[in-house]
Amino acid sequence: MRSRPYLVGIAGGSGSGKTTLVRALQERMPEGAVSVISQDDYYHPIDRQVVDPRGRVNFDLPTAVDLDRLYEDMERLSRGEVLLREEYTFNQHDKRPRLVEVLPAPVVLVEGLFVLHHAAIRERFDLRVYVETPEELQLERRLKRDLEERGYGPEAVRYQWEHHVLPAYREYLLPYRHLCDMHVVNHTGLDRALPVLADHMLERARAHSAGVSSVAW
């Protein structure tokens, strides 16, 4: 018999450190204990994206992402199915997408900008985590990431930040901040929050798995 996984939603603004937190949790927790679903892998094709009045694609809207499919994949993973998804390549159109395999695990982390905005996804979480970072630091991190990793120029990054990112953050994310169970402050690092969060998730996941003979972690 397979127990239901402990589902954790990790939300926060662009550049807040969601992905950094997820990777740190993966490294800290036992092998096979955690799987990750990233909202980034559910973007609709570019020809289905909204274009703003200046003709620029706005990826920072809930409609930019197939959140219904993300929810369906959460349910599939909860039933013990293996997921296969193409990794989203952002602005790197010449890059061949990597096929991502997501295996069932006792803890499932679901991270993204809009995972709290979608009601069915939000209510499915056993734990909601909000990553707190000042807006000016978010912009600094986003500039560094998008320039170095995603092939954007500085003008494009700043335009997106002012016209797309901040408005979406304030409209589609901040209203749900108070619904989160834990708030991780990520101004200078995750050293204090990481062990607390990891231990809590493992404890709760083991409680979910109590009495299930197949648990081996």
Express each pLDDT in 90-99 by its tens digit: 655 556 778 8
Q: Convert the pLDDT of each residue in 7-33 to its tens digit.
A: 999 999 988 999 999 999 999 999 999
pLDDT of residue 214: 44
Q: Cα dist. 48→64, 115, 132 in Å?
A: 8, 20, 31
pLDDT at 178 over 50: yes
Domain assignment present for 211: no
The domain total for the chain is 1
Separation of alpha carbons 55 and 156, rounded Å:
12
CATH at 160: 3.40.50.300
Instruction: Identify the weakest region by mean pLDDT among 96-100, 136-140, 198-202.
Output: 96-100
Instruction: Please give the structure tokens belonging to residue 174.
Output: 């901040």
User: Structural domain of residue 128, as residue ranges?
Assistant: 6-206
Q: DSSP state, 49?
A: S
Q: Are 142 and 165 in contact (CB under 8 A)?
A: yes
Of the candidates 78, 132, 127, 86, which has an alpha carbon nearest to the alpha carbon of residue 106?
78
Please count the other Cβ atoms lying within 10 Å of the Cβ belonging to residue 35.
20
pTM of the predicted structure, to 2 decimals: 0.88
Contact 49/64 with Cβ under 8 angstroms?
yes
Is the pLDDT assigned to residue 212 strictly greater than 60? no
Q: Is residue 179 part of a domain?
A: yes
Residue 215 located in a structural domain: no
Cβ pair 105, 5 in contact under 8 A = yes
Paired strand residues for 36: 109
214 falls within a domain: no
28 in a domain, yes or no? Answer: yes
Asked, for residue 154, whether it belongs to a domain, the answer is yes
**162 or 151, which is more confident:** 162
Does residue 1 form part of some domain?
A: no
The stretch 54-62 carries a mean pLDDT of 94
Q: Is 178 helix (H, G, I), strand (E, B) or coil?
A: helix
Residue 202 lies in a domain: yes
Cα 12 to Cα 187: distance, rounded to the nearest angstrom: 13
In the predicted model, what is the mean pLDDT of residues 71-82? 97
pLDDT at 211 over 90: no
Q: What are phi and psi of 190, to 5 degrees?
A: -115, 15
